[in-house]
Amino acid sequence: MNNVLTSLVVIVLFLVGSVSLQIYLSKKENKWLGIILPCITFAVSIANILGATLCPLFSAQVVQSGGVIVQSVEAVKAIGGDMLSVVLYMFMLYNMPTGILILLYKSYRIIENTKKPDVINSHEKAEKIRKNVDSILRQEQREQRRCKTQYVEL
């Protein structure tokens, strides 16, 4: 009972720590920092899937009285499907943490982007102001040329 409680506390602390680390990294200015943990969990899931699918090909065979039985084939038959469905099931199962971490990343990036002033709008406003100043300068230059031509005519 004590071992189960200790294991449960360690698992909960690990989950809370990884979620808070993901939130911390997602709030950072560098957008690549928030993708570190999802990439790690994705790599671990791929390694687990490859290990589970390739291991039966290279595993030792168990010899029982009179016959040879490969354990992995029995495991696939016990699940009730072919290897592709088992791999897809494992892929979905192992990538649940990846999906949760990506959702955290996206949600906190959206929140952080709404808090900041709209950079695109400020660039557009600056561009409009620059165009207005350019047009005013052109009009003033035309007016100066017109005044010079009138002065020369007098």
Q: Is the pLDDT of residue 71 over 90?
A: no
pLDDT in tens, 113-142: 777 665 556 777 778 888 888 888 888 888
pLDDT at 81: 56
Q: Is the pLDDT of residue 72 over 50?
A: no
Q: What are the helix (H) ranges across the chain?
A: 2-27, 36-58, 71-79, 83-94, 96-115, 119-153
Domains of the chain by residue range: 2-116, 117-154
Q: What percentage of the chain carries pLDDT values higher than 70?
A: 74
Contact of 98 with 45, CB cutoff 8 Å: yes
User: Tokens 């506390």 map to which residue?
Assistant: 9
pLDDT at 55: 66
pLDDT at 68: 52
pLDDT at 70: 45
Tell whether pTM > 0.95.
Answer: no
User: Tokens 């899931």 map to which residue?
Assistant: 45
Distance CA 154, CA 150 (A): 6
Contact of 97 with 40, CB cutoff 8 Å: no
Contact of 109 with 45, CB cutoff 8 Å: no
From residue 127, give the alpha-carbon distance in Å to each of 82, 116, 134, 145. Answer: 60, 20, 10, 27
pLDDT in tens, 76-93: 454 545 777 888 888 999
Average pLDDT score over residue span 145-153: 70
Average pLDDT score over residue span 58-66: 50
